[in-house]
Amino acid sequence: MDEVLKSYMAYRTKINAYNYIDYLVSWDSETEAPKECFKERSLYLGVLSEERYKIQVSDEFNAIVDELSKRNDLDADLAYEVSKMKEDIEKVKKIPMDEYVAYQVLLAESQNIWAQAKEADDFDMFAPTLEKIIEFNKKLCKYWETDELKGYDVLLNEYEKNMTTKEYDVFFNCLKEKLVPFVKIVSSKKLEYSNALKGKFDIDKQKEFVKYLMDVLCFDKNRGLVKESVHPFTSGYGTNDVRFTVHYYEDLLISSIFSAIHELGHSIYEQQGNPKYNDTFLSGGASMAMHESQSRFFENIIGRSKEFWSIHYNKLKDIFKEELVDVSLDDFYLHINEVALQFIRTEADELTYPLHIMLRYDLEKMMIDGDLKVNELPDKWNELTKQYLGLDVPNYSLGILQDVHWSGGSIGYFPTYALGSAYASQIFAHMQKDFDVLNNLETTQKINEWLKEKIHIYSSSMESKDIFENAVGRFDPNYYIDYLIEKYSKVYNI
Amino acid sequence: MDEVLKSYMAYRTKINAYNYIDYLVSWDSETEAPKECFKERSLYLGVLSEERYKIQVSDEFNAIVDELSKRNDLDADLAYEVSKMKEDIEKVKKIPMDEYVAYQVLLAESQNIWAQAKEADDFDMFAPTLEKIIEFNKKLCKYWETDELKGYDVLLNEYEKNMTTKEYDVFFNCLKEKLVPFVKIVSSKKLEYSNALKGKFDIDKQKEFVKYLMDVLCFDKNRGLVKESVHPFTSGYGTNDVRFTVHYYEDLLISSIFSAIHELGHSIYEQQGNPKYNDTFLSGGASMAMHESQSRFFENIIGRSKEFWSIHYNKLKDIFKEELVDVSLDDFYLHINEVALQFIRTEADELTYPLHIMLRYDLEKMMIDGDLKVNELPDKWNELTKQYLGLDVPNYSLGILQDVHWSGGSIGYFPTYALGSAYASQIFAHMQKDFDVLNNLETTQKINEWLKEKIHIYSSSMESKDIFENAVGRFDPNYYIDYLIEKYSKVYNI
């Protein structure tokens, strides 16, 4: 290997080392760190992120990346990786240092301000901070704009390459046209089942069932682990260290079950990546939407299917003998697929979930590309909630202040959630062509293998769009709409 | 603040950041990391430790430390800190880089080799590695020798400043003379109690009692946490992040109890340090022996006292109603203080424990200063075991291969364990002068306050010896011997 390549590899490992530390410290912060430790912790994380930043923008490393990006003797993976790194460096350098630092300082406090505003149900407390965040994001759009990408498209492209308002408009208009009327029909009906899930569900027993689900979904415990945290999440570094969390509520049995299946979807994606990409910049999932497609595929399409529970409900009944004695498989199936219009996105059912996202997409577009002012946001939020969900928002906490994302600087992220769900339906339709998916659910091994071969094995060595199209063709939102309407027509006898 | 000081502070925070990461990653490795993650982890830890090393020996930082070490306008803490750092840098620089790297490579494998040799009960498997470790330590003695310190004294001084063979010889000779004959008398007698602890002890219940102990010893849960690991340990960074572990055995109730009290002793020491030393180089305990004095004070002097269990045994009986129904307080007290000669140091009782240390001290002295060859070690080990404990060692695993320390490069560490126990007795004697220690055990608050004021609050801002002497006078091993003989004469009716 020549000297330039050797230097590049050494830099790559060094940058990965800092990223790895970030991953591990965040994991600790989210799961067990004692609350008084954050003073020193923030200080040290600041120092280390500055070190990493210096390396990434150092003249020496930039010269190496430049030189490699001009060479044509690199293999495809390395060429792609170098081009991504070059793009990253250029982007970072386009932000004036003082603005970048000021924004980091703002973000260090903004989530806390948001949390307090939400707690107090007071939008005015958060508005000035949100205004600054939007301002900075608008500047980002300017710094990063290209001939093809301007305004909100710049931000959308950050979270999902090749997805701009043009594509999202088609997608969301399709939802508006076909899903909103269908939701109106469904929500006028009521599910009839004999016995609902109620009472207390011992948390140790819930944990036992989560362990069972880990085996059903073929999670490799030698290369990962499960723990608890307030908000469930998955994080991983390479294929050998993949961790997820669950939150348990004594009176909400299905919360832990479906958040576990959801996070297991993310985890299987990470564990089934190609190990040859460990310690490169091409490990991990290809994009946010692709990641979400995997989690929602398992959570909704597999996890909320009658076929899945025909096999696994017995185990659940075994564990909760007394609690579930009167709850039949049919009862359970209807319960986990009940549609209930509600204000909070994270509590929404599979059918109405995308409408919550559509609302946020509309607002973000108006915030960044239009002239919607921050003080006009709450009214607009409420107006769209009425339009899409038919609900009257009673306060800020159940409306504009419900999500953490904007306070963390994430504008353009929400649409990937809906896109992920839509991807999942298209993947499902194609998987069905290869084998009878819902009749292979003792474990998900066959499904995992299919996903590995078609998607997971590419890690992030190609653009998400290319991996997706190679696997299941061009994105078509009708798979999603058809899936939802077909499924919920059956559930609701429509 | 002038520029040099500012730069020094910035470097200090940076070095602390790397140390902090080391602390946190080790914690993860010991408690929950999935076993396949170590390939990438070792790589990244190597990179980060190289970064830290480069900073510490960088010309710029060394020039700053040099300049500060010549100034006389620094406050006492800073002057002491700078002098320690200067000493550290000089020591590091005295080791040729290639030897240092080769040794790190050796150590990266040596624990594994030792573990395999122990498993196979085959000393020859470990001997070549041990020989190299000893060779390197002998070189260290040469590199670091001074007019006052030569040979083994150099190593001893690394683990406990101001303690050399001169002081340790006095200490261990005292043990040999007075303790060895006493142990012979005790071990000829048998304790009479009606009902022994036996059967199974549910691990969740053991955990409940450990939580109770955390409250009794006033552990601050906002600044630390407890978890499980194979070998119990405590680690902390500053006063706001202090963590310890316990290992639970279903059939050994007292193992978790006393290892928890032991680790809580370490933890209280860390938590009660002076927070002004956080993010300096003066946080944490003053020395290994001082740390061990705190853990053993709580474990043995408090935790194995009749008075402690007069108050807290009811709680234990409450938790283990059926298991302890026939075990009286007296039975329990005798059980936890029973002397049983055995081969394994970590399982030894309070009375015979120091004899195990004495044996290792003798051997290390002969290894480094004498001409004892590696292949002669096992016989010498067995000979001394017979002499001090009266036992015939049946194999390597129960003899020379039992401890991990040498395989980790730690030669000169063992003596601090016995010294810590001896310190604890002297501390106890002086605490007694100030208040009736054993009649204040509802919680250990009063004890903690005393220790904080006399010892903990100094963190590592002074030499251990100075803190100790200011608190309880010059070290005198007779406090220890007297304490042991008095206690065990009572327990055994001698």
Q: Spell out the per-residue pLDDT of chain A, length 494, in tens.
A: 799 999 999 999 999 999 999 999 999 998 999 989 988 898 898 899 889 999 999 999 999 999 999 999 999 999 999 999 999 999 999 998 889 888 988 887 898 899 999 999 999 999 999 999 999 999 999 999 999 999 999 999 999 999 999 999 999 999 999 999 999 999 999 998 888 788 999 999 999 999 999 999 999 999 999 999 988 999 999 999 999 999 999 999 999 999 999 999 999 999 999 999 999 999 999 999 999 999 999 999 999 999 999 999 999 999 999 999 999 999 999 999 999 999 999 889 999 999 999 999 999 999 999 989 999 999 999 999 999 999 999 999 999 999 999 999 999 999 999 999 999 999 999 999 999 999 999 999 999 999 999 999 999 999 999 999 999 999 999 999 999 999 999 999 99
Closest chain B residue to A225, measured at CA: B34
A143 contacts A95 by C-beta, under 8 angstroms:
yes
Nearest to A57 by CA among A20, A15, A99: A15
Residue A485 CB partners (closer than 8 Å, separation 6+) = A178, A179, A182
Q: What is the dihedral of CA A351, A353, A355, A361, to 10 degrees?
A: -150
- DSSP-derived pairing of the beta strands B224-228 and A242-246: unpaired
The CA distance from A289 to the nearest CA of chain B, in Å, is 26
pLDDT at A100 (0 to 100): 86
Which A residues, 121 through 180, put their C-beta within 8 Å of a C-beta on chain B?
A: none
By C-alpha distance, the chain B residue nearest A17 is B44
In angstroms, the CA B166 to CA B462 distance is 22
Residues of chain A in contact with residue B44, where contact means CB-CB under 8 angstroms, are 13, 16-17, 20-21
Separation between Cα atoms, residue A444 and residue A267, nearest integer Å: 13
Angle, in degrees to the nearest 10, between helices A165-187 and A353-368: 140
Helices (H), A272-305: 288-296
A13–B240 CB contact, under 8 Å: no
Report the candidate in B215, B137, B207, B437 with the shortest Cα–Cα distance to residue B306.
Answer: B437
Contact between B278 and A33 using a beta-carbon 8 Å cutoff: no
Q: Are B195 and B317 in contact (CB under 8 A)?
A: no
Contact criterion met (CB < 8 Å) for B34 and A241: yes
The string of DSSP letters for B10-62 reads HHHHHHHHHHHHHHHHHHHHHHT--GGGHHHHHHHHHHHHHHHHHHHT-HHHH
Q: Say if the Cβ atoms of B47 and A14 lie within 8 Å.
A: yes
Neighbouring C-beta atoms of residue B277, cutoff 10 Å = 20
Residue A284 at interface with chain B, using a CB cutoff of 8 Å: no
Residues of B in contact with A272 (CB under 8 A): none
- Please compute, for residue A309, the number of CA atoms within 13 A of its CA located in the half-sphere on the CB side: 24
**B43 and A CB contact within 8 Å:** yes
State how far the alpha carbon of A267 is from the alpha carbons of A283, A284, A296, A447, B266, in Å.
13, 10, 12, 14, 37
For tokens 């960044």, the residue is A368
pLDDT band at B38 (very low <50, low <70, confident <90, very high): confident
Give the model confidence (pLDDT) of B262-306 as tens digits. Answer: 999 999 999 999 999 999 999 999 999 999 999 999 999 999 999
Edge-to-edge strands, sheet with A234-236: A224-228, A242-246, A234-236
A33 touches chain B (CB under 8 A): yes
Rounded to an integer, what distance in angstroms lies between the CA atom of residue A247 and that of residue A227?
A: 9
Angle between helical axes of B123-144 and B377-389 (0-180°, round to 10): 90
Q: How far apart are CA B60 and CA B62, in angstroms?
A: 5
Q: For residue A133, what is the enclosing H or E element?
A: helix A123-144
What is B89-150 written as a DSSP string?
HHHHHHS-HHHHHHHHHHHHHHHHHHHHHHHHT-HHHHHHHHHHHHHHHHHHHHHH--SS--
Closest Cβ–Cβ partner in B13, B39, B223 for A43: B13
Task: Select the residue of B24, B47, B238 nearest A24 (Cβ to Cβ).
Answer: B24
Residue in chain A nearest B27 by alpha carbon: A28
Which chain B residues are Cβ-neighbours of A224 within 8 angstroms?
34
β-pairing, B234-236 vs B242-246, is antiparallel
Please determine, for residue B8, whether its predicted confidence score (pLDDT) is greater than 80: yes
Beta-carbon contacts below 8 Å between A and B: 103
Chain A residue numbers with beta carbons less than 8 Å from the beta carbon of B222 are 34-36
- Measured distance CA(B455)–CA(B461) in Å, rounded: 11
Write down the pLDDT at residue A373: 95
Distance from CA of B202 to the nearest CA of A (A): 15
Of A17, A28, A222, the CB nearest to B34: A222
φ, ψ at A224 (rounded to 5°): 175, 180
CA distance B461 to A280: 43
- Taking CB atoms and an 8 Å limit, are B225 and A32 in contact across chains? yes
Active site residues of B: 263
Whether the model pTM is above 0.90: yes
Active site residues per annotation of A: 263
Containing H/E element for A246? strand A242-246
Distance CA B270, CA B240 (A): 9
Q: Which helix (H) or strand (E) holds B226?
A: strand B224-228
C-alpha–C-alpha distance, residues A327 and B143, integer Å: 76
The tokens of A469 are what? 């199209």
